[in-house]
Chains A and B, each alone.
Chain A
Amino acid sequence: MKVIEAKIVVLGSQGVGKTSLVVRYIGKMFSKHISPTIGASFFTCNINLENARVKLQVWDTAGQERFRSMAPMYYRNANAALLVFDITSVNSFAAIKGWVKELQSNVPEAMVLSVVGNKSDLEDLRAVQSSEAAQFAASIGAQYCETSALHDQQGIDQVFLNTAAALLKLSNSNLVSSLRSYDSADVDPDKIPTGTPTEEDATHTGKVELPAWSIDSIAHGHVQKNMCC
């Protein structure tokens, strides 16, 4: 079975629910007692796709301004980014645009981008329209999802699953050198059907139903020459 190792960075303003999303996805629970992230937190998870496994290193960053200059440490060599905003906060949506610019000018390799509008449970307080967010996402070649870390396990699972699938496509395209992939000898795809937990538990096993995902819709940074990483 093909195994892909990829790094994903979660970006967005403080308080939009980045940590809640990641904890919900990996721990399958929501905690009211999450304190603001200090620096960055590191998680790992495995996602089993139909004929591949994606091992994700997740960097959940702090949104506070004082950690802003640490961000390059986390997005450098990242293969995917979740750009999270809070649908009740226009400022947090504007901040996403800043992050996209920063990624585009600093990350030379292609990256899977997802724009995530979180706190969809607070529909009454919505300040960013879905259509606007979706349009922006399309303009940067990203997918757009709305989630609620409070209620919606499925929506969040879908975000990670879509990202994993896009990473698989990206690795097939051989466009990206920092995306490690190899065939795992110890796991025979014929003998172990998808969905069977192997020695390392998958956080997630699933089938992706995507709209037209093509490699062209994956965002590419402006390739910079002479950049050393």
Chain B
Amino acid sequence: MASTSKDVPAVVIQDNPPDDLEPGACHDSILNPTDSFEEFASEMSSSLQERNISLATKSSTISEIQSEIGENSAPMKPTKSSDDLQTKDESISASTSNSNLTEQNGDDTDTEKDDYLQSPELVNKEKHVFILSSAGKPIYSRYGNEDKLAGLCGVIQALVSVVEEQNQDILRSISTNDCKAVFLVKGPLILVAVSKSDESETQLVLQLTYAFNQIVSVLTLTQLNRIFEQRRNYDLRRLLSGAERLIDHLLIFMEKDPAFLLGAVRCLPLPEKARENITNAIQTTCNKIRDLVFAIMLAGNQLITLVRMKKYTLHPSDIHLLFNLVRSSESFKTAESWTPICLPKFDSTGFLHGHVSYISEDCQACLLLLTVQRDAFFPLSQAKHTIADKLRRSNCLVAINDALNRNEELPTTNPLKHIGIPEIRHFMYKCKSTAQLFTSDPISLDKLQDYRLRHKEGGDIMEKKVEKLSDIDYVRNYRKFCSSIHCTSTPAKLIFRSNSCDTILAWVTNGFELYVTFDPLMEKDQAIKAVDRLLKWIKKEEQRIFIMHAPTF
């Protein structure tokens, strides 16, 4: 890495930005801004006992809300049992025959497994992700067919359990010359990333944790634990069928969107007035619906607004899972959907029920209404139509479409041109107190190929394409700077690295994180002047770029 401590200039920049509040900061945040980095760092340093305790079920926020709104005596009461999607013992025991079947498959392929590991489906990938049960049964593989990976999963399981049982320790990673394997044991699951990329161990653990949370989001932690308590050998793919694509998409999404790297959420830039009208429309329509916990509107992986029940906030990682769900599910576009959703950070023990729909055919904004009441479909459906009408009448749909279609007249459509600092090639800015993110060039996730195609062809590091740097490449370049900045033992505050390809400045203060790519061989003082202007611009546009209010019902 070219960034050494001698690259860091003596405190040239004052640690606090000029104005009293850094760009984008406001007193009340719609999101829970706690950073996840420390959590992942602690994940990586916890002892075996600590790990076992940390997954013990916490109290249920959903039950708390239900009792607050007086739903407790209503049919919802036994949340844990009636709301679990899979409660019947019979269906679990019914899996016996099925799991025998897969075991047989595993045996059949055992002889071929060495060949399979060398097959084109699996070799030369930049990064593999495997998920298996603690009994060693394959659950998910990013590439190839996990059915044929029973042998490999057995080896992984053996490695993990040998370290645990014989050494009373945790296997965290294995490094070779060009490759590292990172292991994460969470509840009844073992997750492994095998990567040739330059991502740090913490960043890989973060990705594995997201994959775990995606599974929890589909099943709840309570259910996941119970299944394996009842049947250690259970084939979880039965319950996850149709959800593999969510994990696929999530992993692709994480590679491309810096929001994950920074633990922040992107907002759709909108005129202040338009966002206010949208929020008002939701508030006035929904404030009588007592069991509604969150109303979230999003478009193109960007948050438009979020209205919440007092006292409850959402964590960025829960929002990321919602973004992933919406982006991966074309089927939401055809009809109103009613679906159970578990948000692991909010309450990993139970489901919220979500009314999910797109605002209208001519406006691809998606509205999620999340409630604790499983019978609330019709009132929420009614509310959605009322909201859609209000938005249409107040011209908000036009504003949303303008932002989505990147209307040339908007200052946020082409920020670099608008700011007018030609040396800046790319930047990303996170406001820490609100956990919101703005980058100079929105990544186009729409270009993602069908995930099945990617399964066969994607991720191959042998075929290097020569292309103009895209947002994704800039973000890849920032990774190692991010990890120096988020490093818990000796965090860097300011990194300046200049070479013949480009110049990168990474700067963290109490209020923000900023990553900027300049032309090659920039001088420090020149770069610092440019950053100063950049921050002024962000401050000027903050009302448009960020969500500056934290409305409640």
B283 at the interface (CB under 8 A from A): no
B218 at the interface (CB under 8 A from A): yes
Q: Is the CB of A38 within 8 A of B329?
A: yes
A191 at the interface (CB under 8 A from B): no
Residue of A nearest to B329 (CB): A35
Q: Is the CB of B331 within 8 A of A42?
A: no
| Chain B residues in 8 Å Cβ range of A69 | 84-88
In-complex Cβ contact of A39 among B86, B238, B328, B338 (8 A): B338
CB distance from A6 to the nearest CB of B (A): 15
**9-residue interface stretch from A57-65, A111-119, A181-189:** A57-65
Interface flags for B365-381 (1: CB within 8 Å of A; 0: not) read 00000000011010001
Tell me which residues from 36 to 63 in chain A have a Cβ below 8 Å from any Cβ of chain B: 36-43, 60, 62
Interface flags for A105-140 (1: CB within 8 Å of B; 0: not) read 000000000000000000000000000000000000
B325 at the interface (CB under 8 A from A): yes
- How many A-B pairs with Cβ below 8 Å? 84
B59 at the interface (CB under 8 A from A): no
| Chain A residues in 8 Å Cβ range of B241 | 14, 64-66
Tell me which residues from 201 to 243 in chain B have a Cβ below 8 Å from any Cβ of chain A: 218-219, 238-243
| Chain A residues in 8 Å Cβ range of B374 | 73
Q: A67-B85, A69-B86 are in contact. Are A39 and B334 (CB under 8 A)?
A: no
Q: Is the CB of B339 within 8 A of A35?
A: no
B91 at the interface (CB under 8 A from A): yes
**How far is B238's CA from A69's CA once the two chains are assembled, in angstroms?**
14
A33 at the interface (CB under 8 A from B): yes
Q: Is the CB of A35 within 8 A of B338?
A: no
B136 at the interface (CB under 8 A from A): no
A27 at the interface (CB under 8 A from B): yes
In-complex Cβ contact of A40 among B84, B91, B339 (8 A): B339
B335 at the interface (CB under 8 A from A): yes
Q: A36-B242, A65-B239 are in contact. Are A70 and B331 (CB under 8 A)?
A: no
Size category of the binding interface on chain B: 20 to 34
A227 at the interface (CB under 8 A from B): no
| Chain B residues in 8 Å Cβ range of A207 | none
| Chain A residues in 8 Å Cβ range of B460 | none
In-complex Cβ contact of B330 among A34, A60, A66, A70 (8 A): A34
**How far is B244's CA from A66's CA once the two chains are assembled, in angstroms?**
13
**How far is B240's CA from A14's CA once the two chains are assembled, in angstroms?**
12
**How far is B331's CA from A22's CA once the two chains are assembled, in angstroms?**
12
Majority secondary structure, A binding face: mixed
**How far is B239's CA from A39's CA once the two chains are assembled, in angstroms?**
13
| Chain A residues in 8 Å Cβ range of B84 | 69
B340 at the interface (CB under 8 A from A): yes
Q: Is the CB of A68 within 8 A of B338?
A: no
Q: Is the CB of A70 within 8 A of B340?
A: yes
Question: Which among A23, A31, A38 has the highest number of chain B CB atoms within 10 Å?
Answer: A38
Q: A35-B245, A70-B340 are in contact. Are A65 and B329 (CB under 8 A)?
A: no
A19 at the interface (CB under 8 A from B): yes
Residue of B nearest to A42 (CB): B336
B36 at the interface (CB under 8 A from A): no
Q: A38-B325, A40-B339, A67-B85 are in contact. Are A19 and B334 (CB under 8 A)?
A: yes
B337 at the interface (CB under 8 A from A): yes
In-complex Cβ contact of A41 among B85, B86, B240, B331 (8 A): B331
Residue of B nearest to A38 (CB): B339
Q: Is the CB of A27 within 8 A of B340?
A: no
In-complex Cβ contact of A66 among B86, B245, B331, B375 (8 A): B86
**How far is B355's CA from A42's CA once the two chains are assembled, in angstroms?**
10
14 A-B interface contacts by CB (under 8 A): A27-B334, A38-B325, A38-B337, A38-B339, A40-B339, A41-B331, A42-B337, A64-B241, A66-B85, A66-B218, A66-B243, A67-B340, A68-B86, A69-B84
Which residues of A line the B interface, CB within 8 A? 14, 19, 22-23, 27, 31, 33-43, 60, 62, 64-70, 73
For the complex of A and B, the 3 pairs showing the least CB-CB separation, nearest first, are A39-B339, A41-B335, A36-B242
Q: A41-B336, A64-B243 are in contact. List 16 more A-B contacts (CB 8 A).
A: A19-B334, A27-B334, A31-B330, A34-B331, A35-B328, A35-B329, A39-B337, A39-B338, A39-B354, A41-B331, A65-B91, A66-B85, A66-B240, A68-B86, A69-B88, A70-B340
